[in-house]
């Protein structure tokens, strides 16, 4: 393909224009748009906050309380087609939370509970001594 002139592909009326096109700023809104608000409330920021709470090891109730939405809406949004990425993030956050929860449980475990003394163990029927009654 050869280019015959730099004006190729430009309409005739555009070639005859005497005024320059308006600056780009005229097409942009004067105020920056706020983050779009979904009707169900699950904005990108709410999803992120929810997933961060889940990844920290909190339950769904606590995570929903942080974003101010109900647990029912979280489960409902996760089941929708639009919530597919949210569902994937939720799954990943639960995997991350497993490490945090395991670490918490292991650090809360006291060293003396790891080995129980034989005296503290309940006696089994095989080792229990019985006395004969007269």
38-49 pLDDT, tens digit per residue, is 677 899 999 999
- Give the domain ranges of the chain: 39-108
Report the 3 state secondary structure along 76-92.
Answer: HHHHCCCCHHHHHHHHH
- Computed over every residue of the chain, the mean pLDDT equals 76
This prediction's pTM:
0.53
Say how far apart CA 49 and CA 35 lie, in whole Å.
Answer: 15
Using a 10 angstrom Cβ sphere, with 0-12 exposed, 13-18 middle and 19 or more buried, the burial of residue 53 is buried
- Tell me, what's the pLDDT at 6? 62
91-105 pLDDT, tens digit per residue, is 999 999 998 888 888
59-97 pLDDT, tens digit per residue, is 999 999 999 999 999 999 999 999 999 999 999 999 999
To the nearest 10 degrees (0 to 180), the angle between helices 60-67 and 71-79 is 100
């Amino acid at each position: 393909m050869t280019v015959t002139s730099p004006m190729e592909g430009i309409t005739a009326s555009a070639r005859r224009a005497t005024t320059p096109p308006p600056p780009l700023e005229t097409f942009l809104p004067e105020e920056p748009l706020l983050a779009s608000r979904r009707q169900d409330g699950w904005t990108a920021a709410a999803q992120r906050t929810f997933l961060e709470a889940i990844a920290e090891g909190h339950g769904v109730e606590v995570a929903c309380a942080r974003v101010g939405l109900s647990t029912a809406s979280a489960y409902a949004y996760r089941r929708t087609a639009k919530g597919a990425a949210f569902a994937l993030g939720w799954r990943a956050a639960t995997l991350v939370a497993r490490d945090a929860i395991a670490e918490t449980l292991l650090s809360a475990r006291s060293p003396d509970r790891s080995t129980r003394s034989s005296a503290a163990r309940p006696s089994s029927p095989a080792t229990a001594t019985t006395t004969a009654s007269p």
